[in-house]
Chain A
Amino acid sequence: GQQLNQSPQSMFIQEGEDVSMNCTSSSIFNTWLWYKQEPGEGPVLLIALYKAGELTSNGRLTAQFGITRKDSFLNISASIPSDVGIYFCPTSSNTGKLIFGQGTTLQVKP
């Protein structure tokens, strides 16, 4: 079956630092999404990637879809306390259902 690996599993950084996290898969995908989830809330869509090699920014967030279509990374520049949460990078089946990994938990120390 499809396996989606996120790394690191957790990060504890100082406010102002840049953050990088990534996702890898054993399968090729046509879509890669990045979501952030805060405690007790649903995931919020951050960035959607559709083309191999695509690089997309959303404010301080930048994500890239790997050339092989088997990986993606998310960078957060100049982290702030409200960046705290769990970051997911689901991929999508042909029917649109999202397949999630276990997420990367980010904690930011003020």
Chain B
Amino acid sequence: DTGVSQDPRHKITKRGQNVTFRCDPISEHNRLYWYRQTLGQGPEFLTYFQNEAQLEKSRLLSDRFSAERPKGSFSTLEIQRTEQGDSAMYLCASSPSWGGGPYEQYFGPGTRLTVT
């Protein structure tokens, strides 16, 4: 399977704990995006990388959130001191920067975070 993969698929944590999610994009894609989706809503943009450079961050990405893509391949999203409002589906997507361009993003299955 050469699609976008995310790990873990589900995470339950207690308020105040730190969590880290991983995303492995499609191998030839140099752009990687993180989105957050709450129940009944469409995904909301969090941040994106071109290769290892983080080029844009949403205001939704508070100081407790940090994302990295150290070698321009996989990416991690860390949430520190989780709050109940962080409960959501965290989606990763990747795209090439040529042809149809960055617009045709391919999503992973998501990580469902529940903060108790």
Q: Are A97 and B33 in contact (CB under 8 A)?
A: yes
Query: Number of contacting residues on B, CB 8 A?
Result: 28
Q: Are B45 and A99 in contact (CB under 8 A)?
A: yes
Q: A40, A44, A97: which contacts B48 (Cβ < 8 A)? A: A97
In the docked arrangement, what's the CA distance between A48 and B55, Å?
Answer: 24
Residue ID in chain A nearest B41 by CB atoms: A102
How many inter-chain contacts with C-beta < 8 Å in the A-B complex? Answer: 67
Which residues on A sit within 8 Å (CB–CB) of B109?
40-42
Which residues on A sit within 8 Å (CB–CB) of B104?
33, 45, 48
Q: Are B48 and A88 in contact (CB under 8 A)?
A: no
Q: Are A103 and B42 in contact (CB under 8 A)?
A: yes
Tell me what chain A mostly uses at the interface: helix, strand, loop, or mixed.
Answer: loop
Q: Are B102 and A41 in contact (CB under 8 A)?
A: no
Binding site for A on B (CB under 8 A): 4, 31, 33, 35, 40-45, 48, 55-56, 91, 93, 95, 100-110, 112
Given A40-B110, A97-B33, A98-B43, 17 extra CB contacts under 8 A = A33-B103, A35-B107, A42-B108, A42-B109, A44-B107, A48-B103, A95-B55, A95-B56, A96-B48, A98-B33, A98-B93, A98-B103, A100-B41, A100-B43, A100-B44, A101-B42, A102-B41
